[in-house]
């Protein structure tokens, strides 16, 4: 009983079974409380998932790199110790290629045995689930968590944000399935989960909320995801913060304020470099991914091969191993001047190579984190190269490292605003936003249409999530009253089924609206329902017995026509009743059909032709309307197919 009540409560049903129109945002009062509950639940799981995943990575790293090799890379100041020792000083450095190979093999076996869709980077998979409207299997977040912890903990180059996003997005999808939410609400729950997971594990709630809306498109925003994303991200951040503390991930030097306009020249040049390296990141990553897909060997074996190559690279340049946030922390300090210049210049490209080998081979992990590490390496190399030659640069590399993190991944992910906010929250520093905006803007221009997320679409018009709205945009501006037809013959609820059968056959219709003695609309009766009752019982049984209270579907004169046409297709019916609410009851005022909707659409496109008003007999539709409906107003098979293709949910 509790489950049924909660399901009905969160589905947003109104009396008499009329469901709320979709795609109008969640800010309306009667939907705000609903998404407050849903977003809070998603945020709680995001925070708990971030805790479990963070600890899993720490344990895997302590075992694979610490216990087996005797090596521990540095951590960022907000997560541990920045102390480090060279890899060659470890007790068993020669074991590194074997450890990375073993980690890749174990992760591959887990992924391809139980959840093949968990391979690669989780954020892109969650983006695909949003656009395609498909649910995420319940086992995927768990498999993703385990496999990613093994991949990253054994030295594979990957980020923790993708699995964190897929954990909470997967829960959002599972919650939508459990509560029987519709396709639009499931998509919104998935987008909310993406932002909550990333915002929690990066301790960047505002950036995570904006990311939920921005990461789905190259040139657009999923505006409806902003408010639930903000709620979920704040909750997830709060839960994770209780466990991990409230300090930013990175500690930055004091007095980093931007105070020299002349430095904008260098920040602009840095934006150009970040845009070019960002393009190289996307091209290199997907090039390696395609290469591994063509390899003639079992899929579960490919991550082991990638791990072997990463281990060999790591023997020479251990900075490419794991997430790399500890190295970013070290690059922000004055000690960067002592680093070999060739290492800093090679690091962005070696990190790209290591990420492609670790994740593109079929391993599990994120590409967001490596993207920011690559950007930080570009900024560090840029400062290290210019510091001895150019006067007037910042005294420490931190400003260039921070801005480059924003510019490179903000550009190639087409999420400039979200990434700028996230990096600002991760560093606890907002003073560099002005030069960052310049660098990020230039990087976005350099990147163009290229993206690190292959499932990212250009705009909402390209997404199946909005195909109905954008395929027939004018319909969303028209209301039912503009396509309203007078009521068909109606039946009284106290008639016998045999009388109803006779009337339906006389009128030559398959369905009819049913009213009670006061004229209140009760539902819809079909001839098929009547014929399903034994002939001997039809005289004794009444029409009211076949109606299902609360489940009959109706629309109101103010409902948008795009939604109503979609309902006609969903329900596979020829018409829908139009009702008005008066004194808590529904009174029938007419009906709407596919034919009348398309006539209203044609009339709206040709302003000199007035749409049929209430009580007017519709004339013959134009040929384009007849292509979709027959003269009886029923959608033809061809018309139904074409409408379903363009109005797909």
Check whether residue 505 and residue 395 sit in a common domain. no
Per-residue confidence band for 25, with pLDDT thresholds at 50, 70 and 90: low
Per-residue confidence (pLDDT) for residue 447, from 0 to 100: 96
Backbone angles phi, psi at 29, to 5 degrees: -55, -40
pLDDT at residue 537, rounded to an integer: 86
- Judge if 262 and 155 occupy the same domain: yes
Considering the domain architecture, whether residues 454 and 378 belong to the same structural domain is answered as yes
Q: Is the pLDDT of residue 232 over 90?
A: yes
Mean pLDDT of 233-252: 92
Is residue 14's pLDDT more than 50? no
Domain boundary among 429, 464, 499: 464
Determine the Cα–Cα distance for residues 143 and 574; give it in Å rounded to an integer. Answer: 45
Question: Tell me, what's the pLDDT at 552?
Answer: 63
- pLDDT single digits (tens) 396-434: 899 999 999 999 999 999 999 999 999 999 998 888 888
Looking at the structure, tell me whether residues 414 and 558 fall in a common domain. no
Task: Kindly report, residue by residue over 555-609, the tens digit of the pLDDT.
Answer: 888 888 888 887 887 777 788 889 888 877 788 888 898 888 888 888 887 654 4
Q: Using the 3D structure, point to which of 464, 481, 516 is the last residue of a domain.
A: 464
The reply to whether 329 falls in a domain is: yes
The pLDDT, as a whole number, for residue 494 is 85
CATH of the domain at 392: 1.10.3080.10
Residue 558: what pLDDT?
Answer: 86
Q: Quote the CA–CA distance of 361 and 355 in Å, as a whole number.
A: 9
Statement: residue 627 has pLDDT above 60: no
How many domains are there within the chain?
2
**Which pLDDT belongs to residue 135?**
79
pTM of the model: 0.77
112 pLDDT higher than 50: yes
605 and 538 share a domain?
yes
CATH of residue 516's domain is 3.10.580.10
Higher pLDDT, 633 or 213: 213
Greatest pairwise CA separation for the chain in angstroms: 100
- CB of 111 closer than 8 Å to CB of 87: no
Query: What is the pLDDT of the chain when averaged over all its residues?
Result: 84
457, 507: one domain: no
pLDDT tens by residue, 125-174 = 888 888 887 778 888 888 989 999 999 999 999 998 878 888 888 899 88
Domain limits at 361? 40-248+255-464
Same-domain status, 495 and 565: yes
| 97: nearest Cα among 248, 275, 307 | 307
Q: Are residues 223 and 329 both part of a single domain? A: yes
- b/e 503-521 (16+ beta carbons within 10 angstroms → b): ebeeeebebbbbbeeeebb
Are 460 and 512 in the same domain? no
End residue of a domain, out of 464, 480, 507: 464
pLDDT at 39 over 90: yes
Task: Please indicate, yes or no, whether residues 392 and 521 belong to a single structural domain of this protein.
Answer: no
């Amino acid at each position: 009983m509790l489950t049924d009540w909660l399901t009905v409560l969160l589905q947003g049903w109104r009396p008499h079974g009329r469901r709320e129109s979709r795609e109008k945002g969640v800010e309306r009062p009667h939907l705000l409380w609903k998404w407050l509950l849903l977003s809070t639940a998603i945020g709680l799981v995001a925070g708990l998932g971030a805790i479990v995943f963070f600890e899993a990575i720490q344990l895997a790293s302590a075992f694979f790199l610490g216990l087996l090799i005797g090596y521990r890379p540095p951590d960022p100041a907000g997560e541990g110790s920045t102390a480090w020792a060279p890899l060659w000083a470890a007790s068993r450095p020669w074991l590194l290629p074997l450890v990375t190979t073993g980690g890749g093999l174990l992760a591959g076996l887990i992924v391809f045995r139980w959840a093949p869709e968990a391979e690669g980077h989780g954020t892109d998979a969650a983006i695909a689930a949003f656009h395609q409207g498909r649910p995420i299997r319940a086992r995927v977040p768990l498999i993703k968590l385990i496999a990613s912890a093994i991949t990253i903990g054994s030295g594979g180059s990957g980020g923790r944000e993708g699995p964190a996003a897929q954990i909470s997005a997967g829960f959002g999808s599972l919650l939508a399935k459990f509560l029987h939410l519709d396709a639009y609400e499931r998509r919104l729950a998935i987008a909310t989960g993406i932002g909550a997971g990333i915002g929690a594990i990066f301790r960047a709630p505002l950036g995570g909320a904006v990311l939920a809306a921005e990461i789905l498109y190259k040139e657009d925003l999923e505006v409806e995801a902003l408010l639930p994303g903000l709620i979920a991200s704040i909750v997830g951040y709060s839960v994770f913060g209780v466990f991990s503390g409230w300090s930013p991930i990175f500690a930055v030097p004091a007095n980093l304020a931007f105070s020299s306009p002349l430095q904008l020249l260098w920040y602009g040049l840095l934006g150009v470099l970040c845009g070019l390296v960002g393009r190289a990141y996307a091209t290199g990553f997907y090039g390696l991914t395609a290469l591994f897909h063509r390899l003639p060997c079992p899929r579960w074996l490919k991550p082991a091969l990638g791990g072997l190559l990463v281990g060999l690279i790591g023997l020479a340049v251990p900075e490419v191993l794991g997430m790399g946030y500890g190295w970013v922390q070290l690059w922000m300090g004055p000690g960067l001047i002592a680093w070999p210049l060739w290492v800093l210049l090679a690091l962005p490209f070696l990190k790209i190579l290591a990420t492609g080998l670790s994740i593109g081979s079929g391993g599990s992990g994120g590409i967001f984190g490596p993207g920011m590490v690559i950007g930080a390496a570009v900024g560090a190399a840029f400062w290290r190269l210019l510091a001895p030659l150019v006067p007037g640069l910042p005294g420490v590399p931190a400003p260039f490292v921070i801005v480059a993190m924003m510019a490179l991944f903000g550009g190639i992910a087409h999420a400039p605003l979200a990434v700028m906010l996230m990096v600002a929250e991760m560093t606890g520093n907002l003073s560099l936003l002005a030069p960052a905006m310049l660098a990020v803007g230039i990087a976005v221009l350099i990147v163009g249409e290229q993206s690190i997320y292959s499932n990212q679409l250009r705009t909402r018009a390209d997404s199946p999530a909005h195909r109905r709205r954008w395929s027939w945009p004018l319909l969303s501006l028209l209301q039912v009253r503009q396509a309203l037809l007078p009521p068909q013959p109606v039946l009284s609820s106290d008639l016998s089924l045999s009388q109803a059968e006779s009337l339906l056959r006389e009128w030559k219709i398959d369905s009819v609206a049913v009213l009670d003695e006061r004229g209140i609309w009760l539902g819809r009766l079909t001839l098929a329902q009547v014929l399903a009752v034994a002939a001997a019982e039809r005289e004794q049984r009444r029409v009211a017995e076949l109606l299902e209270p609360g489940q009959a579907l109706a629309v109101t004169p103010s409902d948008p026509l795009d939604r109503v046409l979609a309902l006609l297709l969903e329900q596979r019916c020829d018409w829908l009743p139009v009702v008005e609410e008066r004194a808590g009851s529904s009174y029938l005022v007419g009906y709407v059909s596919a034919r009348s909707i398309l006539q209203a659409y044609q009339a709206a496109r040709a302003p000199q032709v007035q749409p049929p008003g209430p009580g007017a007999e519709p004339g013959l539709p134009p040929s384009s309307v007849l292509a979709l409906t027959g003269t009886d107003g029923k959608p033809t098979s061809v018309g139904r197919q074409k409408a379903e293709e363009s109005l797909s949910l």
